[in-house]
Amino acid sequence: MGVNVAVGETSRALLSDINLTVAPGDFVTVLGANGAGKSTLFNAITGDKPVSGGTITLAGENITTARPEHRARLIARVFQDPKMGTAPRMTVAENLLLASRRGQHLTLKLRGLKGRMAEFLALAKKTTNGLDQALDKPTEELSGGQRQALSLLMATMKEPALLLLDEHTAALDPHTSAEIMTLTDSIVRQEKLTCLMITHQLEEALKYGNRLVVLQDGRLVADYAGAKKAALTREDLLQYFA
């Protein structure tokens, strides 16, 4: 049985019999109209939305009933809002230091920030928006694009078993969005990350990733990979939004 998510006294279905197997290294773009179930799918994976049926397995582990904090050791998520995922009053370097310890037990010890500045500088230079010049700047003072680039670096520096990108360029202007997508594609490819990316941009869905899936009314209605995805056109995808 696939994964199901239902809410309310009437058990209204938000996800119905979702069967989706993602291979290691897959970069899957997720399409669907508003209300199709895209964010619900991500929330079911992260444990923020309990499932009413089916099993979720990640890295060989059944995480269907695992607590969200346990899943956070395996899953990293970047949200649409650039303000989410970073600590606003901490500097860029401090945020990176915090992210480098994701999943570790917190202890009372020296931060060791100075000894890692060269590492964080090299990491920030992967971006093209001046983040490397802002390591000592509070995150709340960054532009939206810089903040989203930082969120992406933080989410991927520990190489999660699964990276979830939840419309992470939707709040950005077209130029900045293109920069973040270029950075995203580079990181996912170089680190060979397994990634699911929600997008409403048909061009992004066609250009990026090796696989494309479509949700409609809480059901998985299409799954394109390899040559089938490469042959897709914008017009092919528009039918799912009619």
- Residue 110 confidence (pLDDT): 47
26 with 210: CB under 8 angstroms? Answer: yes
Nearest CA to 51 among 33, 37, 69?
Answer: 37
> According to the model, what pLDDT value does residue 69 have?
81
Q: Which of 219, 215, 220, 180 is nearest to 200 (CA)?
A: 215
Query: Given this model, what pLDDT does residue 2 score?
Result: 65
Do residues 227 and 203 touch, judged by C-beta distance below 8 A?
A: no
Q: pLDDT by residue (tens digit) across 121-176?
A: 999 999 989 999 999 999 999 999 999 999 999 999 989 999 999 999 999 999 99
Rounded to an integer, what distance in angstroms lies between the CA atom of residue 26 and that of residue 58? 13
Instruction: For the full predicted model, state whether its pTM sits above 0.75.
Output: yes
Q: For the chain, which domains are there?
A: 3-241 (3.40.50.300)
Phi, psi of 159 (to 5 degrees): 50, 75
Percent of the residues in the chain that have a pLDDT greater than 90, as a whole number: 74
Q: What average pLDDT does range 184-205 have in this prediction?
A: 95
What lies within 8 Å, CB to CB, of 203 at 6+ separation is 234
Does position 39 have pLDDT exceeding 90, yes or no?
A: yes
- Which amino acid is it at 223? D
Q: Which of 106, 99, 59 is nearest to 76 (CA)?
A: 99
Q: How confident is the model over 190-194, as a mean pLDDT?
A: 96
Inform me whether the pLDDT recorded for 222 exceeds 50: yes
Q: Is the pLDDT of residue 112 over 90?
A: no
Q: How confident is the model at residue 104 (pLDDT cuts 50, 70, 90)?
A: low
The radius of gyration computed from the CA coordinates of the chain, to the nearest angstrom, equals 18
Q: Is the pLDDT of residue 11 over 60?
A: no
Residue type (1 letter), 109: K
pLDDT for 62-103, tens place per residue? 999 998 888 888 999 999 998 888 999 999 999 999 998 876
User: What local confidence, expressed as pLDDT, does residue 107 receive?
Assistant: 53
Give the Cα separation of 63 and 58 in Å (integer). Answer: 7
Q: What is the 3-state secondary structure (H, E, C) of the chain?
A: CCEEEEECCCCEEEEEEECCCCCCCCEEEEECCCCCCHHHHHHHHHCCCCCCECCCEECCEECCCCCHHHHCCCEEEECCCCCCCCCCCCEHHHHHHHHHCCCCCCCCCCCCCHHHHHHHHHHHCCCCCCHHHCCCCEHHHCCHHHHHHHHHHHHHCCCCCEEEEECCCCCCCHHHHHHHHHHHHHHHHHHCCCEEEECCCHHHHHHCCCEEEEEECCEEEEEEEHHHHHCCCHHHHHHHHC
- Residue from 139, 125, 94 nearest 112 by CA: 94
Q: Pick the residue with more confidence: 193 or 2? A: 193
The mean per-residue pLDDT over the stretch 23-35 comes to 95
